[in-house]
Structure 1
Amino acid sequence: MKKNIASYLTVALTISILLYVSFSSNKTIDSSKYSTAGLDLNYTVSQDAGTNTSDLSLLSENNTYSPYLGKSFVGFKEALAFKESRGDYSTVNTFGYLGKYQFGKETLKLIGIFDPAEFLINPQLQESAFIANAERNKWILRRDIKNFVGKRINGITITESGILAAAHLAGAGSVKKYLRSGGADVFEDGFGTSIEYYIKKFSGYDTSFLKPNKKAKASLI
């Protein structure tokens, strides 16, 4: 009987000690120390990045871009690159077209690139080549852009970005034929992709960044 009483007393004493320690250590937290008042918490990046000349650095870097680029110029070139190669700088397709934007060797020569092997391993040069080729095409197609943008051909509204994307696919001459024939002369590449498809798919992007330039050349400077 005495042993049972001693056991009960021991248990009761242990519980009392635990309760005391628990309550005595329950301090009040001063939440004011954790206030965010006065802190700059705006980390939003503009969706217009890449449409100004101050954003040129974006064009020459091998970055993974956000899918929320909208209709900005960077959105245009990245969407086109994804369609061409899924954005792979090192790829060569079955027809021998090279890199992220799938350039042909003859087109590269027109913008001052004569070493395809060097081109393929140089992302910065590929980005520069895209700009140079697009500016050259914009100069060649300057009258067609003026005359056809805003009009509809075969139910498709013609835009500058659609014209430039189609020129990237098939060359400026083929785009001229399509527009001036009222959509009757439709070029298709080796995979069956048509000018008309590119005009529609890449319509409405902001390509004002690109300036018409007859002598545009790719450069690393």
Structure 2
Amino acid sequence: MIKRITGLSVTLIIGGVLLLGFKTKESVDFSSYSTAGLDLYYVAPNFNEIEDEGVFISPELGKSYTGFKEAVAFKESRGDYGVVNQFGYMGKYQFGRGTLELIGIKDISRNDFLNNPQLQEKAFYAYSSRNKWVLRRDMKWFIGRRMNGVEVTESGILAAAHLAGPNAVKRYLRSGGVSGFADAFGTTIRYYMKRFGGYDTSFVEADRRAKVSL
């Protein structure tokens, strides 16, 4: 009999604790909780975007123009002037034939281009200069805003234009980040704008007819 009473008491005690727990949960007032002001936007990066999150930043170069172009080069080719990828993009900044022709580099063999670091550096500046002119209005309109959780900066725009071309960047910005782009490796405009944002690229002058003098 004593065992029964003891067992019943234990059961009542456990039941009371559980009941008290449920009542406590029901009595919580969530009306004071709010998500206002929180950044709830999240984009899951693709594997290419997270495989090398160690961003190349030289302590000596910092956020200068030289630091910018070297950081882009490190992402593109690990800074190798002589590399050609499986899609035929060449050199330190991974230029395609069409882009090179656009900035005045024609009738040059692949080997001659790969073995000419000075020419590759001139090509990067000329292409950045042309892209800065093409995107001048968009820079005026969108720099300082946040898009898809990333602050828009001039260097981010120029890096994205190097990746995707200025017209793709223009569509991305003017659509509020809805019109996306990904290269053959899955790298996006948003990723380049985030990774290469905040550099001082004022050294690059906007030039509609930027060409490389051979």
- How many Å apart are 1:173 and its aligned residue? 0.4
Find the partner of 2:148 among 131, 146, 154.
154
TM-superposed deviation, 1:68: 3.1
Stretches (4+) displaced over 4 A: none
**Which runs of structure 2 are paired with 1:92-171 in the superposition (5 Å)?**
92-114=84-106, 115-117=108-110, 118-171=112-165
C-alpha separation in 2, matches of 1:66 and 1:202: 13
CA–CA separation in structure 1 for the residues paired with 2:94 and 2:207: 21
Scaled by the length of structure 2, what TM-score is found? 0.71
1:136: Cα distance to partner? 0.2
Q: Which has the larger Rg?
A: 1
Q: Alpha carbon RMSD of aligned pairs, Å?
A: 1.2
User: Who is 1:184 aligned against?
Assistant: 178
Q: Confirm or deny: 8 A CA contact 2:58 2:67 kept in the other structure.
A: no
Other-structure match for 1:84: 76
Gaps of 5+ in 1: 1-64
Deviation per CA, 1:101-145: give whole Å up to 9, x if none: 000100000001111422121000000000000000000000000
Contact 1:105 1:116 in 2 (8 A): no
In structure 1, what residue type is equivalent to 2:157? I
Deviation of the 1:67 alpha carbon: 4.2
Q: Secondary structure at the match of 1:96?
A: coil
Would you say how many aligned residue pairs link Structure 1 and Structure 2?
A: 156
CA distance in 1, matches of 2:180, 2:109: 29
TM-score, reference length from structure 1? 0.69
Please, which runs of 5 or more residues in structure 2 have no aligned partner?
A: 1-56
Instruction: Give a deviation string over 1:42-101, Cα, whole Å, max 9, x none.
Output: xxxxxxxxxxxxxxxxxxxxxxx9543210111000000000000000000011000000
- 1:75 alignment partner AA: G
For the residues of structure 2 that align with 1:66 and 1:201, how far apart are their CA atoms?
Answer: 14
